[in-house]
Amino acid sequence: MDARSIVSSVALPVAAAGLGSVATASGIKSEWYSSLDKPAIQPPPLVFPVVWSILYAQTAVGSGIAQAHMAEQPAKGYRRKLALNMALNAGWCWSFFKAQQTGASIVVAGALAASSADLARTAGSAATPAGRFLVPYTLWTGFATVLTTAIWRKNRS
- pLDDT by residue, tens only, the chain of 157 residues: 688 888 999 999 999 999 999 999 877 788 999 999 999 999 998 999 999 999 999 999 999 999 999 999 999 999 999 999 999 999 999 999 999 999 999 999 999 999 999 999 999 999 999 999 999 999 999 999 999 999 999 999 7
d(CA 2, CA 79): 12
Instruction: Please name which of 27, 16, 14 lies closest in space to residue 85, comparing C-alpha atoms.
Output: 16
pLDDT of residue 157: 75
Q: Confirm if 60 and 52 have CB atoms less than 8 A apart.
A: no
d(CA 93, CA 149): 14
d(CA 121, CA 20): 24
pLDDT of residue 44: 94
Check residue 157 and report its DSSP letter. Answer: -
d(CA 147, CA 19): 21
Number of domains in the chain: 1
pLDDT of residue 92: 98
Burial class (CB in 10 A: 0-12, 13-18, 19+), 140: middle
Give the predicted TM-score (pTM) of the model: 0.95
Q: Confirm if 121 and 102 have CB atoms less than 8 A apart.
A: no
> Which domain covers residue 34, as residue numbers?
3-154
CATH number of the domain at 148, please.
1.20.1260.100
Q: Confirm if 33 and 97 have CB atoms less than 8 A apart.
A: yes
Handedness of CA 81, 142, 6, 64 (dihedral sign): negative
Distances (CA, A) of 107 to 24, 66, 79, 88: 18, 28, 23, 10
